[in-house]
Amino acid sequence: MKPYYITTAIDYTNAAPHIGHAYEKVLADVMARFQRLNGREVYFLTGVDQHGQKVQKKAQEAGKEPQQFVDEITAHFTALWEKLGVKYDSFALTTAPPHKRVVQAILTRLHEAGQLYKASRRGHYSVRQEQFLTDKERGEDGKFGDEWGEVIELEESNWYFKLSEHVDWLKGYIRSHPDFIFPAHRAHDVINALEGSGGIDLCISRPKERLTWGIPLPFDPDFVNYVWFDALVNYISYAGYLADECGNTGLPDFKTLWPANAHVIGKDILSPPHAIYWPTMLHAMGFSDADIPRLVVHGWWNVKGSKMSKSLGNVIDPNVLADTFTPDGLRFYLMKDIATGYDADFSDERLLMAYNKELGGGLGNLLNRSLNMANRYRNGVVKIGGHDDDICVSLRETVIEAYTAYPEKMESWAIHEGIEEAWKIVTAANGFIEQTQPFKLAKDESQAARLDAVLHHLAESLAHVSVLLDPVMPVMCGRIREQLGWALPDSFKLTDLRWGLLPDGHQLGLGTPLFPRVEVASEEGAGAKARP
């Protein structure tokens, strides 16, 4: 089976990352880890988009060279991924020479194939903002607002990609490939956008007088390549496309890696860039239908019902949350409280609840009480096979049902349902303790065998939980296993899960609270700590 190739959007390096960036990368990371755990080779690519007008402007304002400016912002991103445990195989930088060479090679090929042409168009241009304006920039009265300053009509030459030649193919492709976009309902919007269009091509250049911070067009030095074309190509340039021709080394073998199994993106960049520009670009480059990648479109985290935006001042900083609730605590919340593809509401209160009640009270406390009793009554030694009863059978069935249902849920991006499956074990095990009351069994010598069985069932159940939740909480699940005195065997796969991970006579470790309770001072929930 070919490697599972997963990418994320590459983030625009004009500001520091917020919770939305973090969500997307964690989502992709969880899927990558799940696939690995499922025994599949994985190539996980993320990165940053460092080109573009905004970057050039911001760098100027900061009095810095663009490269220095983007390097600094990029460091914020990579530091956050390090902190959150986002473990990628490669990190795309659009200013990196190997990437630039591939972009130029593609442009050359398309140019030679007659897919690009130069044309002149008139438009409204804001002198102050140094950009062309579209009808969307018009106010209610149909005029351009004061924020644009002086607006003049200007004619400008640019290079265009003959996107319109591929639209009919794209419509057919989308209709005949319901898997192309997940969730499927978003394909409607794309088809709709295509229907309403009138053969407009894609502008892929900016004159050098206006924008220098970009990749020069190899066939016309007066222009640089503009944004989407350059950015989208990262998905193939970093996968080894045209590596030989461009003299790029150290990259994967493109033929075995492509197509991407998942381009994980936000709904804001589905149409037009990923659903229209990207497949038509690939098609123009000669990619077949079988080599069109799949799009996984996630929703947004709103804040109290409204969009997160700098102007509203409600931007959530993932760094602070990870400090308060641990990186894995944040990952857990981000994966559990949203259904992939849909929006969710970010809530300090729910995050606090997820951490304290579910992770602390549910999972952490289960581990702690189980280990405490095992150590107190049996010096942490697991003894198997001396006793069995219906209550034990029932717990075993829950575990088996959970790890049976789990892979399907995860495979179909229903991460929150995968977590739910694992959580059935946590809930059942806590109930199991109430039913069996090992602390009472310990007082009765005649119940010794039953106590052994109970303690064994708890430890074994926790070992399973530590595997199932590993993609979501890699650090904490590692700690669970440490406390259990158990490590994942080499090349352990999900399909290796079975009742009986812990051997007879296994020595458990000592328990320490995994998720120490987070106390909040005010009634504003976690806000007090999360946003000082």
Partner RNA sequence: GCUCCUGUAGCUCAAUGGUUAGAGCAGGGCACUCAUAAUGCCUUGGUUGUCGGUUCGAGUCCGGCCGGGAGCACCA
Residue 495: how many other CB atoms lie within 10 Å? 11
Nearer to RNA, 18 or 36 (CB): 18
Nearer to RNA, 46 or 365 (CB): 365
Q: Provide the H-helix boundaries in 227-364.
A: 228-232, 234-237, 243-246, 254-257, 278-284, 318-325, 327-336, 348-353
- At residue 24, the 3 state secondary structure works out as helix
Handedness of CA 268, 269, 273, 275 (dihedral sign): negative
Residue 322: how many other CB atoms lie within 10 Å? 19
Q: What tokens were used for 31?
A: 């899927």
Nearest distance in Å: CB 269, RNA: 5
Nearest distance in Å: CB 395, RNA: 12
Q: Do residues 93 and 11 touch, judged by C-beta distance below 8 A? A: no
Nearer to RNA, 353 or 391 (CB): 353
Nearest distance in Å: CB 135, RNA: 8
Give the orientation angle of helix 318-325 with respect to helix 327-336, to 10 degrees. 110
Distance of CA 107 to the CA centre of its chain: 30
Q: What tokens were used for 333?
A: 């919340």
Nearer to RNA, 257 or 463 (CB): 463
Q: Do residues 241 and 203 touch, judged by C-beta distance below 8 A? A: no
Q: Do residues 103 and 237 touch, judged by C-beta distance below 8 A? A: yes
Residue 232: how many other CB atoms lie within 10 Å? 23
Nearer to RNA, 57 or 531 (CB): 57
Nearer to RNA, 118 or 440 (CB): 440
Q: Which residues contact 22 (CB under 8 A, 6 or more apart)?
A: 80, 84, 318, 330, 334
Nearer to RNA, 357 or 498 (CB): 357
Nearest distance in Å: CB 194, RNA: 5
- How far apart CA 90 and CA 47 sit, in angstroms, is 8
Nearer to RNA, 198 or 503 (CB): 198
Nearest distance in Å: CB 320, RNA: 21
Nearer to RNA, 118 or 357 (CB): 357
Nearest distance in Å: CB 456, RNA: 15
Q: Do residues 30 and 474 touch, judged by C-beta distance below 8 A? A: no
Q: What tokens were used for 172?
A: 């057919």
Q: Do residues 517 and 359 touch, judged by C-beta distance below 8 A? A: no
Nearest distance in Å: CB 493, RNA: 28
Nearest distance in Å: CB 333, RNA: 12
- How far apart CA 376 and CA 514 sit, in angstroms, is 19
Nearest distance in Å: CB 249, RNA: 28
Nearer to RNA, 277 or 486 (CB): 277
Backbone angles phi, psi at 249, to 5 degrees: -125, 165
- How far apart CA 211 and CA 111 sit, in angstroms, is 21
Nearest distance in Å: CB 258, RNA: 22
Closest C-alpha among 392, 375, 376 to residue 384: 392
Nearest distance in Å: CB 52, RNA: 5
Nearer to RNA, 4 or 159 (CB): 159
Nearer to RNA, 307 or 498 (CB): 307
Nearest distance in Å: CB 472, RNA: 16
In Å, how far are 18, 58, 62, 70, 236 from 309, measured between CA atoms?
Answer: 10, 18, 22, 21, 31
Find the helix or strand (DSSP H, E) in which 484 lies.
helix 474-484
